[in-house]
Structure 1
Amino acid sequence: EHPTDELLLVARRFADAAAIAVERAERLAAQAEAERLHQRLEASLLPRMRFADSTVDLHYRYRASERRMLIGGDFLGAVSFPGGGFTVIIGDVSGHGPDAAALGATLRTSWRVMALEGLTALEALRRLNQIVMADRFDDSEFATVAIVTVNAERSQAEVVLAGHHPPLLLTDEDVSEMSAPFGVPLGVFDQPTWETGVVELPDRWSIMLYTDGLIEGYAAPRGGARYGLRRLLRLLRAEGFHAHVSDEDLDHLLDQVKAANGGPFGDDVAVLTVSGQRLSLADQLASSPSLARQADERIVPHPQI
């Protein structure tokens, strides 16, 4: 017995519905896979702080302004030297989205390679400027950068600013900006020059580097005045941020600034702190095997009489 026209129509509609359901399921699976790969790519671009120096505490926080992205144009990094010193960087690429994130990741990785090769902050900035000029997606794109290099004794910091806010020095007594000459951002001129500022460090200290998203939110939920540096300094003093900063301290800081803004940050925010204290020669040798080996090699035994 042949199927009736009604049965054929029902079967055809069922087949069409099944095909649509299969196509929709395949599309959703493809979207889920694309989202998973996107998240893995973003996660691979997030900074990984492998800081091999037990005499320094390093903490950082990163908040991207775009909810669909884990990262933005802000970047940061840290490198310890065999001789006992270390250097840290923080930067902010203009704009938002994947283009800014890609350039920020390129600058972070390039700087790390340069620091490991022993380039000074000024030498690294000149090369980073060339990278911005060559790799940016738009001729108007630029990046601000702050680099701090601390000596093996932990007694002195060299600060270089390329259009970036000065880092903050937190001591047992106060919180203040670290004084340094203000230079132009990366990507503005073909052959810019920068200068180094030297800051003496007390016995105990913390250095805080941050991007402008931390202070460019609103001071109150209904808008109006920006949060600004003065409010940030008052908050750090009132909350007892001194010569040692913890992960919990940074979380509390971001929560306070976010609450003042009345919601999520309007710009990417990165904060990095390093805390330490002055080291004696014995402490330096204990913390740096390579430095200890160099000292041993320089010891010449006295001849027997």
Structure 2
Amino acid sequence: MAWQWREPSVLLIEDDPGDALLVEELVADSALKMRLRWARSMAEAREVLSSQAPDCVLLDLHLPDARGLEAVSMVHSLADQVAVVVLTGLAEDDTGLAAVAAGAQDYLVKGRVEPELFVRAVRYAIQRKEAEQAAVALQASQMQAQENARLERGLLPRPLLHRPAAEVVTRYRPGRAQALLGGDFYDIVESADGTVHAVIGDVSGHGPDEAALGVALRIAWRTLVLSGVTGAEQLSRLEEILVAERARVEVFATLTSLSIAPEGRRVRMLRAGHPGLLLRTDDGQVRWVEVAGGPALGVVPGLANWPVQELSLPVGAALVLFTDGLFEGYVGRGKERLGEEGLLRLAQEVADLTPDAFVDGLIHRAETLAESQGGLDDDVAVLHLRWNTGQANENEGGEERSE
């Protein structure tokens, strides 16, 4: 607490010189040293409070320019972080209690205050005010955490899969000192014909507006997939939503949207300004894949073109999609960043691990390299998608036998 480590500063707001002298004598006789300043009116106190707020205000309720509870309200409006101890007359106990109910930390009756009681009142008032502020800050933090949790559920949903053919591993890590979620999002949906659709995206910037926009894009993507809208038309619709919902014209979003055919061998992919992806094969190899694409959503609204690219997926292979926070971290105390080549090297180091261990190891290595500068700046989302060919073939075989 502030009063435990230094002399507290106290502002006396009192128009009566005699009462002010009594307070000065109490300060002189007290065991706790204080730095006392005297203001004779609320107008004079306003100048003091606006320049450097004290730890505590001793407030008379009978000022020439503020009377009663109005005076308490005025002090709070000028410096709401300051503890207030009200000074009342001999017959004003009810007024003192009303002042405490209005936000003052304590009250003292003039003429009935001993130095020890005076010190205790000032000390406890400061401590009580700091405890109140800590409680308010904690409540705000809890509310923010709850809001973040709601946003996270919207940004990072559970995969909507009907069969166990697709093995999915997802991870999300907030950037360092990130009070709010960013706009990183992903989703996975299996359509009625057995095609598995996946998306990963990143709204530029951080904060509630960007997170809400990420949620809107993610939900819109799922709706479009379930409605059968794919290809470039899908991205055009998403861009329309982004332009309509973004808080600022400079906000954009990158994303990769893909679909894997039911047999798990053919991939159709669209890329809108998003980084490439990693392809893991069942022989422990990892390579970087970057198909042709178009600009990020919202950069040139209505003018962009996103070609559909096809990719053959080896048996047992996995696709690893991620947001750029994974490779944009620093690798030392200088300005060198990990980059795409560095990320590929890290992936090759953990290539023989299980999907969960591979994703966790990749993120851990990237975070470790960035530790000297406080960790990864940006949020990181990772989506590891592997097609269980054996399960797929079993299901296909079962379907053929049932016919």
TM-score range, shorter chain: 0.7 to 0.9
Q: Which amino acid aligns with 1:146?
A: T
What residue number does 1:303 align with? none
1:155 to 240, 265, 268: 265
Structure 1 letter corresponding to 2:208: P
- Distance in 2 (CA, whole Å) between partners of 1:92 and 1:256 is 22
> Is the 1:207–1:273 contact (alpha carbons within 8 Å) kept by the matching residues of 2?
yes
After TM superposition, give the deviation of residue 203 of structure 1 in Å.
Answer: 1.2
Q: Within 5 A, what are the aligned runs for 1:214-225?
A: 214-219=326-331, 221-225=332-336
Q: Which amino acid aligns with 2:158?
A: M
The reply on whether 1:259 has 2:365 as its aligned counterpart is no
Would the aligned equivalents of 1:202 and 1:277 in 2 still touch at CA under 8 Å? no
Corresponding residue for 2:317? 205
Give CA-to-partner distance per residue, 1:153-201, whole Å, 9 cap, x none: 1111111000111222111243223352221110012212211110111
Aligned counterparts of 1:9 and 1:259: Cα–Cα separation in 2: 57
Alignment of 1:73-222 (within 5 A): 73-173=183-283, 174-191=285-302, 192-219=304-331, 221-222=332-333
- 1:170, 1:241 within 8 Å by CA — same for their partners in 2? no
- The Cα of 1:35 is off from its aligned counterpart by 1.9
The 2-side partners of 1:80 and 1:157 are apart by 14
Do the aligned residues in 1 keep the contact of 2:183 with 2:206 (CA within 8 Å)?
Answer: yes
Per the TM alignment, residue 214 of structure 1 is displaced from its structure 2 partner at its CA by 1.1
- 1:50 alignment counterpart: 159
Residue 250 (1) aligns with residue 362 (2): no
Q: CA RMSD in A?
A: 2.9
TM-score with structure 1 length normalisation? 0.82
Q: 1:4 to 1:282 in 2, by over 3 A?
A: closer
Matched, 1:36 2:142: yes
Q: Distance in 2 between matches of 1:284 and 1:122?
A: 30
Give TM-score scaled by structure 2 length: 0.64
Q: Equivalent residue of 1:190, what SS?
A: coil
- Of 113, 116, 119, 1:7 maps to 113
SS in 2 for 1:73: strand
SS in 2 for 1:95: strand
Deviation, 1:265, is: 0.2
* Residue identity in the other structure for 1:218: Y
**Is 120-129 or 154-163 further displaced after alignment?**
120-129
- Post-superposition shift, 1:102? 2.2
Question: 1:260/1:68 Cα in 2 relative to 1: closer, same or farther (>3 Å)?
Answer: closer
- SS of the aligned residue for 1:204 comes to coil
- Which of the two has higher C-alpha Rg? 2
**1:94 partner SS:** strand
Task: Calculate percent identity across the aligned residue pairs.
Answer: 32
C-alpha separation between the residues in 1 aligned to 2:346 and 2:319? 16
Matching residue within 341, 347, 350 for 1:239: 350
More off after superposition, 162-171 vs 115-124: 115-124
1:250-284 CA-to-partner distances (Å, cap 9, x unmatched) read: 12111111112234102221111111243655424
Deviation at 1:131, TM superposition (A): 1.4
CA change 1:209–1:77 in 2 (3 A) is: same
Q: Is the 8 A contact 1:161 1:180 kept in 2?
A: yes
2-side partners of 1:29 and 1:63: how far apart?
Answer: 28
8 Å contact from structure 2 (residues 203, 210) kept in 1: yes
Match of 2:136, SS state, is: helix
Ranked by relative contact order (alpha carbons within 8 Å, sequence separation 6 or more), the top structure is 1
Could you tell me which amino acid in structure 2 is paired with residue 204 of structure 1? Answer: G
* Residue equivalent to 2:54: none
SS in 1 for 2:170: strand
Are the counterparts in 2 of residues 85 and 152 from structure 1 also a CA contact under 8 Å?
yes
1:275 aligns to what? 386
Instruction: Give the gaps of 5 or more residues in structure 1.
Output: 287-291, 300-305
Quote how far apart the aligned CAs of 1:205 are: 1.0
Question: In structure 2, do the counterparts of structure 1 residues 236 and 10 end up closer, same or farther at CA, with 3 Å as the change threshold?
Answer: closer
Range with bigger deviation, 107-116 or 5-14: 5-14
C-alpha spacing 1:218/1:26, structure 2 compared with 1 (3 Å): closer
**Is the Cα contact below 8 Å between 2:350 and 2:361 reproduced in 1?**
no
Contiguous gaps of at least 5 residues in structure 2: 1-89, 91-108
Deviations, residues 74-116 of structure 1 (Å, cap 9, x unaligned): 1111112222111111111112233322222221122122222
Deviations 1:200-244 (A, max 9, x none): 11111110001111111123x2224321111222222232247xx
